[in-house]
Amino acid sequence: MIRFDSLSEARPDSIDKVTGRAVYATDLDIPGMLHGHVVRSTAVHARIRALDVGAARAAPGVVDVLCGADVASLGCWGLVLKDRPILALDKVRYVGEPIAVVIADSAEAAENAAELVEVDYAALPRVPDSKAALAPGAALVHESHSPLEDFYFRGGARPIDGTNVFHRFLSEVGDVAAAEAAAAHVHEDHFSFPPVFHYALEPHTAIADFREDGLTIWSGAQSPAGVQKVVSRLFGLPLAKVRIVVPYVGGGFGGKASVKIEPLVAAASWKVRRPVRIAQSLSDSMLTCRRLGARITIRTAVDREGLILAKSADIVLDGGAYADTGSAVATKAANRIIGPYVIPNLRLEARAVYTNTVPGAAFRSIGGPQAVWAAECHMDNVAAAIGLSPVEFRLRNLAARGQRIRPDLRPLDMDMGELMGLVRQAMGAASAATGPDARGLALAASDPGIVAIGNALVRLKIDGSVLVAMASVEIGQGVHATMARIAAETLNQPFGSVTVLPTDTGTAPFDWGTGASRSTVIVGASVEAAALDAATQMLDLAAEALAQDRTALALVPGGIATPQGFRSFHEVFHLAYGVDSGEVIGRGALNPRSRGGALREAPLFWETAAGMAEIDVDEDTGAIRLRRYASAADVGRVINRVSAEGQDEGASVQGLGHTLFEALEFEDGQPVNASPVDYNIPTLDDVPDDFHTILVEHHDGPGPGGAKGMGEGAILPIAPAIANALFARYGVRVNDLPLTPEKVWRALRARS
């Protein structure tokens, strides 16, 4: 069993966490703090005819009530489209949209008074789902579009005027129509993937303190720089006057990425000029964001040998009432539906549309699970249609290391055949209980590692202790310990001598954000460069102070090895500065101009996954049970084995949730199950004993020691692997996730 050998090697954050000492945004108490409670729309799509907050304002303990009219002059915000008001003013676009914030001296008083707010709605025609959004003559969720260019991502949204389409992406390679005309078989399928809730255990919580001299926000935000940029523009504050502090974050998975409740909390503090805390309930967070649901048509043309000639996909994503980063989700879905295959002709179209439902958001491997669900179920269907085994069909079409799957994407930096072999090997012979057939395979190649802009500072102190300042957020992935390890290795100091500062834009240099599997590579390389810079400065100082040749010196724990023996950092500083004081400050950065522009091509590295599932099906109820599972990923280099494995285990089990039962449901736009009682996630009971997580290392990634990013890929293969097992064993194909007992039972019955 793999584990840390001693506590001194283990992640320092995990020691804070097991003792209950770890501080999260929900645990903070800022002196003078008031409490906000958000009043939310109960209407799906409506004009606000009247808003009466008089009774709430007069309620005991209430200090003020923030309304749309108070913030109308601040305008709208967004990441790819400026589509979002801080509070709804004239109309509401989904059930759950913030309409007002009651600010009181206790959370209880605010919550009680919120019930006194009266809203008079005039219903508007609804756009309940993506089909309705695209229907001719559909009502418009937004009357016009204002896209932002190069604001949060490179490029921006490509909306279609006069429609609910807020982004359309099209990629064409070769000539699909001609290839289909010449093909031996053309096979088309339709799939769907529901909206899914992130279910980070810590609900969205933020505290804002708006003062004359600037704004401080404490939030469990994954993208502090994004929050800083958006609120600085909204309130007209210089970036240097906006400080974002991120304590430990109780899970995010993309649900706390970009910007969420921070503008609202900042506006509440701006109104009352005191610190205001909004701690959402988990039910509120279910009305805050969710994964984009998808409807996908996918078509593949193959020749007589089973070689794929062409693939086309039409992907429609339900982006909810506000775009957030849904345009990127759509573009990535189109990239991630290709798979690790050589396909000469492609036509990939993805559209993200507005609907009157909870806004969509990034969620672990954005667009990936939706795309790979369709792509890899479809692969098995095509294989069956042409009489090849799923493994053989894939082997014939796999792209080799170094091959491009699309001309504008970096060549594959891994060997998918190797990963496929590893999961098959790990599963070994089939269990007698399930028979040889109840197994399914799925592969995925996704393009993470976006926005290669990172910075870090590494400070080496006179006593050999080290301070690292960088902006990656400790959200459970162990990134702070990873940065400590990189700094320790580079400076040749003990792991325990490194302290990583809590994430705070006031002390940490710019980084784009924590997501897209980018931190280990982009920020990790920045920390490595900063540590190297500090090492160089230290050695230069020592060479001068000790009158030694620089090449004869080396860093060792606590000091410098010289030909004459050990000299402590104390001694070196003392000699150099005449007093036992000082430090060296190393600076490191990574950006698209680094390494001669080698990081410019997208993706920065490939994130890959192979998964194989073996299932049991109760034919009387349709219930699927995962008996065994294996996943493999090429991660370049493992920096912290148990944490890296834990990332992929967690990703797989999250995927198991959306495979078997998770869906955030809406009926005509009304949320049906937006409560922890009604929305279930996997428990210990759902996870099989036999669970293999394989990490492949070839030390060939762009990060420190050849690391690549990881932690998202493993969510991709599990749903199609399980569905392919069902198909292999019973010959039934369920096209719409989740694979609930009812759907499976119906499919089994229709077959017999």
Active site residues: 712
Instruction: Please name which of 329, 350, 349, 338 lies closest in space to residue 406, comparing C-alpha atoms.
Output: 338
Report how far Cα 293 is from the mean position of its chain's Cα atoms: 16
Backbone dihedral angles phi then psi of residue 116, each to the nearest 5 degrees: -90, -5
Contacts (CB under 8 A) with another protein, residues 180-199? 198-199
Answer with the entry of another protein, ligand FES, none that 381 interacts with (C-beta below 5 to 8 A by kind): none
476, 513, 588, 669: residue in contact with another protein (rule CB under 8 A):
476
* Cβ–Cβ under 8 Å, residues 469 and 507: yes
User: Using the rule CB under 8 A, is 675 a contact of another protein?
Assistant: yes
**11/485 with CB nearer ligand FES:** 11
Task: Please state the closest distance from residue 199 (CB atom) to ligand FES, in A.
Answer: 9
The amino acid sitting at 2 is I
User: Using the rule CB under 6 A, is 476 a contact of ligand FES?
Assistant: yes
Task: Please state the closest distance from residue 183 (CB atom) to ligand FES, in A.
Answer: 47
User: Using the rule CB under 6 A, is 646 a contact of ligand FES?
Assistant: no
- Nearby residues of 623 by Cβ (< 8 Å), 6 or more positions away: 617, 741, 744
Instruction: Please name which of 322, 288, 356, 263 lies closest in space to residue 145, comparing C-alpha atoms.
Output: 322
Q: Which two tokens stand for residue 517?
A: 């599997």
Calpha distance 419→606 (Å, rounded): 13
* Cβ–Cβ under 8 Å, residues 251 and 281: no
* Cβ–Cβ under 8 Å, residues 423 and 575: no
Calpha distance 632→657 (Å, rounded): 19
The 70-99 contact track toward ligand FES, x by CB under 6 A, reads: ------------------------------
Contacts (CB under 8 A) with another protein, residues 59-88? 60-61
Answer with the entry of another protein, ligand FES, none that 446 interacts with (C-beta below 5 to 8 A by kind): none
User: Using the rule CB under 6 A, is 705 a contact of ligand FES?
Assistant: no
The 19-48 contact track toward another protein, x by CB under 8 A, reads: xxxxxx-xx---------------------
Task: Please state the closest distance from residue 251 (CB atom) to another protein, in A.
Answer: 4
219, 325, 520, 643: residue in contact with another protein (rule CB under 8 A):
643
Backbone dihedral angles phi then psi of residue 77, each to the nearest 5 degrees: -130, 170
Strands 293-302 and 185-193: antiparallel
User: Using the rule CB under 8 A, is 112 a contact of another protein?
Assistant: yes
User: Using the rule CB under 6 A, is 701 a contact of ligand FES?
Assistant: no
Reduce the DSSP state of residue 321 to 3 states and report it.
Answer: coil
Instruction: Please name which of 299, 334, 302 lies closest in space to residue 406, comparing C-alpha atoms.
Output: 334
Answer with the entry of ligand FES, another protein, none that 239 interacts with (C-beta below 5 to 8 A by kind): none
Answer with the entry of another protein, ligand FES, none that 60 interacts with (C-beta below 5 to 8 A by kind): another protein
Task: Please state the closest distance from residue 698 (CB atom) to another protein, in A.
Answer: 23
User: Using the rule CB under 6 A, is 15 a contact of ligand FES?
Assistant: no
33, 76, 282, 561: residue in contact with another protein (rule CB under 8 A):
282
The amino acid sitting at 210 is F
**17/401 with CB nearer another protein:** 17
Instruction: Please name which of 207, 204, 220 lies closest in space to residue 290, comparing C-alpha atoms.
Output: 204
Calpha distance 339→341 (Å, rounded): 5
Using left for φ > 0, alpha for ψ between -120 and 50, and beta otherwise, residue 254 falls in left
Task: Please state the closest distance from residue 476 (CB atom) to ligand FES, in A.
Answer: 5
Q: Where are the alpha helices (DSSP H) in 54-182?
A: 54-58, 68-71, 107-114, 130-134, 176-182
- Angle 32-265-128 (CA atoms, 0-180°, nearest 5)? 150
Map tokens 């540590």 to a residue.
Answer: 531
Q: Which residue is nearest to ligand FES (CB)?
A: 201
User: Using the rule CB under 8 A, is 502 a contact of another protein?
Assistant: no
Instruction: Using CB atoms within 10 Å of the CB of residue 152, give its burial: 0 to 12 exposed, 13 to 18 middle, 19+ buried.
Output: buried
Instruction: Please name which of 641, 333, 703 lies closest in space to residue 517, comparing C-alpha atoms.
Output: 703
Calpha distance 55→473 (Å, rounded): 41
- Angle 48-54-58 (CA atoms, 0-180°, nearest 5)? 150
User: Using the rule CB under 8 A, is 57 a contact of another protein?
Assistant: no
User: Using the rule CB under 8 A, is 281 a contact of another protein?
Assistant: yes
Residue 208, strand partner residues: 217, 276
**219/335 with CB nearer ligand FES:** 219
Return the number of other C-beta atoms located less than 10 Å from residue 565's C-beta. 8
3-state secondary structure 201-239: CCCCEEEEEEECCEEEEEECCCCHHHHHHHHHHHHCCCH
Map tokens 């992907």 to a residue.
Answer: 315
User: Using the rule CB under 8 A, is 201 a contact of another protein?
Assistant: yes
Task: Please state the closest distance from residue 639 (CB atom) to another protein, in A.
Answer: 13
Please work out the total of residues on this chain that contact another protein, with binding judged by CB under 8 A.
69
For residue 521, what is the DSSP state?
Answer: I
User: Using the rule CB under 8 A, is 735 a contact of another protein?
Assistant: no
Q: Which two tokens stand for residue 225?
A: 């720089």
Please work out the total of residues on this chain that contact ligand FES, with binding judged by CB under 6 A.
3
User: Using the rule CB under 8 A, is 519 a contact of another protein?
Assistant: no
Q: Pick the stretch among 14-22, 76-84, 389-397, 568-576 that binds another protein (CB under 8 A).
A: 14-22
Calpha distance 467→555 (Å, rounded): 17
7, 181, 391, 598: residue in contact with another protein (rule CB under 8 A):
7
Backbone dihedral angles phi then psi of residue 165, each to the nearest 5 degrees: -80, 115
Contacts (CB under 6 A) with ligand FES, residues 236-295? 251
Task: Please state the closest distance from residue 58 (CB atom) to another protein, in A.
Answer: 13
User: Using the rule CB under 8 A, is 639 a contact of another protein?
Assistant: no
User: Using the rule CB under 8 A, is 222 a contact of another protein?
Assistant: no
Q: Pick the stretch among 230-238, 318-326, 355-363, 689-697 that binds another protein (CB under 8 A).
A: 689-697
- Nearby residues of 304 by Cβ (< 8 Å), 6 or more positions away: 184
**443/473 with CB nearer ligand FES:** 473
**658/729 with CB nearer another protein:** 658
Task: Please state the closest distance from residue 676 (CB atom) to another protein, in A.
Answer: 4
User: Using the rule CB under 8 A, is 514 a contact of another protein?
Assistant: no
Task: Please state the closest distance from residue 49 (CB atom) to another protein, in A.
Answer: 31
Task: Please state the closest distance from residue 696 (CB atom) to another protein, in A.
Answer: 19
**167/256 with CB nearer another protein:** 256
User: Using the rule CB under 6 A, is 194 a contact of ligand FES?
Assistant: no
Calpha distance 650→95 (Å, rounded): 30
Task: Please state the closest distance from residue 649 (CB atom) to ligand FES, in A.
Answer: 11
Calpha distance 298→190 (Å, rounded): 6
**476/515 with CB nearer ligand FES:** 476
Return the number of other C-beta atoms located less than 10 Å from residue 637's C-beta. 19
Cα distances (Å, whole numbers) of residue 25 to 203, 265, 278, 286, 620: 10, 13, 10, 18, 47
User: Using the rule CB under 8 A, is 651 a contact of another protein?
Assistant: yes
Cα distances (Å, whole numbers) of residue 685 to 388, 688, 738: 36, 8, 18
Calpha distance 295→190 (Å, rounded): 7
**17/185 with CB nearer ligand FES:** 17
User: Using the rule CB under 6 A, is 201 a contact of ligand FES?
Assistant: yes
**58/201 with CB nearer ligand FES:** 201
**517/643 with CB nearer another protein:** 643
Task: Please state the closest distance from residue 329 (CB atom) to ligand FES, in A.
Answer: 23
Answer with the entry of another protein, ligand FES, none that 305 interacts with (C-beta below 5 to 8 A by kind): none
List residues binding another protein (CB under 8 A).
Answer: 1, 3-7, 10-11, 13-24, 26-27, 60-61, 109, 112, 198-203, 248-253, 281-282, 475-478, 640-643, 645-647, 649-654, 675-677, 681-685, 687, 689, 691, 693
List residues binding ligand FES (CB under 6 A).
Answer: 201, 251, 476
